[in-house]
Amino acid sequence: SPAVAAHEVPLSAASLSWIEHLVGTERVAQVRSGVRAASERLDGRTVWHISDNPVRGGVAELLRGNLPYLAGGGVLTRWATLDAPPEFRQFTKELYYALCGVAPPAPGTGGSAPGTGTGTGADIERGRRLYERVCKEYAARLTAAVDRNSVVVLHDHQTAGLIPHLREHGCTVLWRAHIGAALRPELAAPAWEFLGRYLPSAHRHIASYAGVLPSPLAGAGSHIVPPSIDPLSPKNLSLQPGIDPSRLLVAAGLVQDSAAAVPGTHAFSDLLLRHPVLIVRDGGPVPAQAPLVTQVSRWDRVKDIPGVIRGFAEHVDPAFGAHLLLVGPNTTGDRQAQQVFEECREVRSALGSRRDRVHLVQVPTDNPAEHALTINAIQRRSTVLVQKSLAEGFGLTVSEAAWKGRPVIAAPVGGIRQQIEHGTTGLLLSGPRDLPGFGQALNSLLEDRSYAEELGRNGRERVLRHYLTDSSVLNFAGVLSAAAQ
Ligand code: UDP
């Protein structure tokens, strides 16, 4: 069938044997046989994945990590993304905030305090015509390319409106929620009601953990597939011994050069050192030896970046000499992200002299592999990773940090609660807005480095057991086998 023009993401095949040295022969054999069973049941039918975008956020990261292993195991797999018009993106972002139980920004104010309320049912309903019109257009494009007997996996709220169209086309339709349960479910109810017009038409529903899907969808025919990280992706691959991630960050101008960092270190990646990634930032370079506290996230209100800045500036003891990095993708062409970035800038500027220890960092996404390697190096160079989100579907950044042996301090929301065992593999705050607790947790890890390292080591073990790609590939293959019957 023809490609969905300009929206299909090329996929390569990966072999499970590549991760055998990490997960062992038995696990690889089990996953292989699960994937083979799915491919036999599918009997030549293609599995299409449709998601919002190919680069930004956890869904893109997850599909990049998982799909090549399914393809490599014999499941005919294709992935297309929406290149949605701005008004659709604006509306689906509001829907996202509502699903998370977080307030959308008040129009014209550059944003209201998040978490104080959400769009009312009537506000959300006003977007239905636009949403259905755009979904109908996409459905027409997709049905021209997708065979009738395909299995189609639609990811998140942006694609829910495609369900009835693809079902009518004859496809087996699976809808997968990557969003988490809202802290206050009553705030998310209007958004779930909005989606309720489409979701029941899907054959099966998938969530990252129990308690996400509204009860009518959570029964038989629903599945739990926890996300995972790919240990071989540029985001997570380990550096050879002796390779210092600081080297790349020095080349990119993020970290000051220091004579001490140079001898005995090698190029993190020749390619990257020849073409250093341009890092756009607010705040001068980080001193070479400073402990780094880092949050990696999209510029999104749900990630409460202003809260991270305030918590750090107001509650972390300056005597540790730590610097805070807020790292996200470049905001070019993304008006909403740009708005959040500007708010963060204002919060930083208002800190007075303390702002010198706070750095806003935009890493360009033009070359996804370079981008991912840069994030990898930043995570490895960090002393502590934080994820102080107000809501979270899963929070891949938590597993990414833990896999690199870094301790994580995070808000007890969404899938983060599954990932972190408090006090053993990381530290959970009492709530997402607990700024003094956030500062205290940071002080404790900056003070007691051996405790921090122990959390990191345990965190890596936990990721190895539960959150590497092979686990979710096996789970997902099981869903495909069930759906293909
Ligand atoms: N990420 C990235 N570059 C950035 C910011 C985030 O590659 O500048 C990645 C991050 O490493 C993770 C994903 O985007 O893989 C975010 O996934 P998560 O589940 O934490 O949150 P989401 O963005 O889906 O809400």
Distance 399 CA to ligand 1 centre (A): 11
> Do 384 and 442 meet the contact criterion of CB atoms below 8 Å apart?
yes
- Confidence class of residue 410 from pLDDT cuts 50, 70 and 90? very high
Distance 398 CA to ligand 1 centre (A): 10
> Do 390 and 295 meet the contact criterion of CB atoms below 8 Å apart?
no
pLDDT tens-digit map of 379-392: 999 999 999 999 99
pLDDT of 267: 38
pLDDT at 239 over 90: no
Distance CA 354, CA 439 (A): 15
Across residues 415-443, what is the average pLDDT? 97
Say if ligand 1 is within 6 A of residue 391 CB. no
Protein residue whose Cα sits closest to atom 20 of ligand 1: 395
ipTM: 0.99
- The pairing of strands 358-363 and 280-282 is antiparallel
pLDDT at 264 over 70: no
Percent of the chain with pLDDT over 70: 90
Distance 138 CA to ligand 1 centre (A): 26
Q: Helix (H, G, I), strand (E, B), or coil: what is residue 204?
A: strand
- Asked whether the whole model's pTM tops 0.90, one would answer yes
Across residues 65-77, what is the average pLDDT? 97
Distance 318 CA to ligand 1 centre (A): 28
pLDDT at 249 over 70: yes
Say if ligand 1 is within 6 A of residue 360 CB. no
pLDDT at 3 over 50: no
pLDDT of 276: 59
> Do 431 and 388 meet the contact criterion of CB atoms below 8 Å apart?
no
Say if ligand 1 is within 6 A of residue 65 CB. no
pLDDT of 99: 94
The strand pairing partners of 206, in sequence order, are 176, 223
b or e along 30-66 (b: 16 or more beta carbons within 10 Å of the residue's beta carbon)? ebbebbebbbebbeebbbbbbbbbbebbbbbbbbbbb
Helices (H) and strands (E) in the chain, counts: 18, 13
pLDDT of 465: 97
